[in-house]
Every structure is written in structure tokens, then in C-alpha cells.
């Protein structure tokens, strides 16, 4: 059975980084005995991957083979319908031949003619890099494989095991104490235990420190309350502005009345030459 999959990653100029992969559905044509890639499945897989990681793109495809054959060339031509210059990754893990193992995995790119037809495939250099998550997993596996079985010996335990053990112990302690509080409140309600105001007050204070559960109804009501507060503040600002404008208008009118009664000079015309002599 032939395994065919898609390679996803990023490309910056000539540098291509392969990060993830998924298998793709293929069917074999009974007349030509060629593998046919399901184009709709390719588009669906790419859409699902980009929903999770929008910066990922289709950079190539992979299959299980020792060297490129006519089947791989046919599949590569079909992949060219989805990407202009796809990479082809070949790997073969079951071979005991050291010469084959030395050449695999192999990464190829196609050299096309001016007409667009694929002329031949050339092998391109690559390097494999281990991410932090993979290093953590490898460290955990290595420590677990060399463990002596002593529960008190932490020298052969991975950091993941130690951290997860601490978190598990903390969760167990929290669960047991929460269960004790619930049982106490239940016994108080049923009259099995006497009511202690101090203990109940401490439980209430503890509950007040916990974050409130956020539901859709709570978010809707909180949004409505927030909008009401903002509208009230906006209305208060408008009211204050209108009051200031009314005071300013009243002051201007009073000045105009006093000016007409006392024949005060125009403020804009007061200067050195036209200053009133009767002042």
C-alpha cells in the first residue's frame, strides 16, 4: 500500500521550512494503474491546516519509495496542479541496505522546461532541526528508559515527570480540600454538624476570591450594563457641555446689555490712541 501525504510549512525566498504533514486520499486507476490524488481532499486538508495555522502553506508532498519512479513522477505532476513547484520527500524505513539508508530520506525538486513539462528531478540539500517540544519529549523518553525503578531516585526522572507529578499532587490536594468544604456545608444544611459562623464566613471569603464563571448570558448582561454606564457618562458630558454653553451665552448677553447701557467701548478697538478720555 502506497502512502502519500502533504507537506506544510513556510517559505521565505529560496528557504523552505517543513513543519507539519498530513496524509491524502489516493485511488488507483484500473486502466492505467496509476495513483490519482483526490484534489478535493487536498483542498480540504489545506483549509483545515490553515484554519489552525494561517501562516502555513502547501510546500510539497511525501511518499514511501527508495528512488523516484514513474508513479512518483505521475503524482508529482498532479501536485503541480496545487502548487507551482512542490518538493518531493522520499523515505524508506524498512530497508537494511546501508547504501539505501544513507540516501534516505531524500528531498527532490523538479526542473521544468519552458513549456511547463517536468524535465527531471534533482536532489536538494536539507537539514533536520529539533524543536523545543521534541527535545522535551526525547528527554522524557531517555530518562524513562534509564529509570532504576526507585521512587525516591529523581536523578533518572525527566523534568516533565517531575513537573507533572507536582501539578498532579497539587490538584489532588485542591480536590480533597474542596470536597471537605462541600461535605461540611452539606452536613450543616442537613443539621448533622453545628453551624459555625466563623467557618462559614471564611468559606464565603474564599468563594469571593474565586473568579466568577463567565457564560454567554453573563457576557451579554455585562455588555449591556457596560453600555448603559458609558451612555450615562456620555449623557452627563453632553449635559455639562450644554450647561457651560448656556452660562457662556448668558455672560455674553449680559456684557452686551451693559455695553449698550453704559456705552462701553468695543474691546477690540481699545488701544493707545482711542482709549476713552472719560475713564
pLDDT for res 210 = 74
- CA 120 distance to own-chain centroid: 40
pLDDT for res 165 = 80
Residue 125, C-beta contacts closer than 8 angstroms, at least 6 positions apart: 107
CB 59 within 8 A of CB 7: yes
CB 16 within 8 A of CB 59: yes
Calculate the alpha carbon distances from 47 to 3, 20, 67 in Å: 21, 14, 30
pTM of the model: 0.47
Residue 80, C-beta contacts closer than 8 angstroms, at least 6 positions apart: 86, 110, 118
pLDDT for res 216 = 72
- Of 116, 106, 10, 117, which is closest to residue 56 (Cα–Cα)? 10
The three grid cell numbers given for residue 166, joined into one nine-digit string: 507536582
pLDDT for res 186 = 92
pLDDT for res 183 = 92
pLDDT for res 179 = 92
Tens of pLDDT, residue by residue over 122-157, are 888 888 877 776 677 767 666 655 555 554 555 555
Low-confidence residues of the chain: pLDDT under 70: 1, 93-103, 113-119, 133-134, 138, 140-161, 212-215, 262-279
User: Phi and psi for 226 in degrees, rounded to 5?
Assistant: -65, -40
pLDDT for res 277 = 53
- Of 47, 43, 5, which is closest to residue 24 (Cα–Cα)? 5
- Outline where DSSP puts E strands in 48-144: 57-64, 87-91, 106-112, 118-123
Amino acid at each position: 500500500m502506497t502512502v502519500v501525504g502533504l507537506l506544510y510549512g513556510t517559505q521565505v525566498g529560496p528557504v523552505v521550512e517543513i513543519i507539519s504533514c498530513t496524509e491524502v486520499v489516493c485511488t488507483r486507476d484500473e486502466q492505467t494503474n496509476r495513483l490519482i490524488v483526490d484534489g478535493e481532499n487536498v483542498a480540504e486538508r489545506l483549509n483545515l491546516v490553515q484554519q489552525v495555522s494561517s501562516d502555513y502553506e502547501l510546500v510539497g508532498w511525501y511518499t514511501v519509495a527508495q528512488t523516484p519512479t514513474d508513479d512518483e513522477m505521475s503524482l508529482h505532476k498532479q501536485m503541480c496542479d496545487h502548487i507551482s513547484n512542490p518538493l518531493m520527500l522520499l523515505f524508506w524505513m524498512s530497508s537494511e541496505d546501508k547504501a539505501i539508508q544513507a540516501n534516505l530520506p531524500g528531498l527532490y525538486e523538479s526542473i521544468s522546461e519552458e513549456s511547463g513539462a517536468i524535465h527531471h528531478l534533482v536532489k536538494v540539500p536539507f537539514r533536520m532541526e529539533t524543536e523545543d517540544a521534541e527535545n522535551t519529549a526525547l528527554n522524557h523518553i531517555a530518562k524513562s528508559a534509564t529509570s532504576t525503578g526507585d521512587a525516591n531516585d529523581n536523578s533518572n526522572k525527566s523534568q516533565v515527570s517531575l513537573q507533572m507529578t507536582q501539578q498532579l499532587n497539587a490538584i489532588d490536594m485542591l480536590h480533597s480540600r474542596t470536597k471537605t468544604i462541600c461535605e461540611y456545608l452539606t452536613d450543616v444544611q442537613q443539621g448533622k454538624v453545628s453551624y459555625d459562623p466563623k467557618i462559614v464566613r471564611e468559606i464565603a471569603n474564599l468563594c469571593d476570591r474565586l473568579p466568577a464563571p463567565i457564560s454567554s448570558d453573563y457576557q451579554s448582561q455585562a455588555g449591556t450594563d457596560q453600555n448603559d454606564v458609558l451612555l450615562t457618562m456620555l449623557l452627563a458630558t453632553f449635559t455639562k457641555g450644554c450647561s457651560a454653553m448656556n452660562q457662556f451665552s448668558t455672560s455674553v448677553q449680559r456684557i452686551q446689555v451693559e455695553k449698550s447701557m453704559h456705552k462701553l467701548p468695543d474691546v477690540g478697538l481699545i488701544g493707545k490712541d482711542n482709549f476713552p478720555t472719560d475713564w
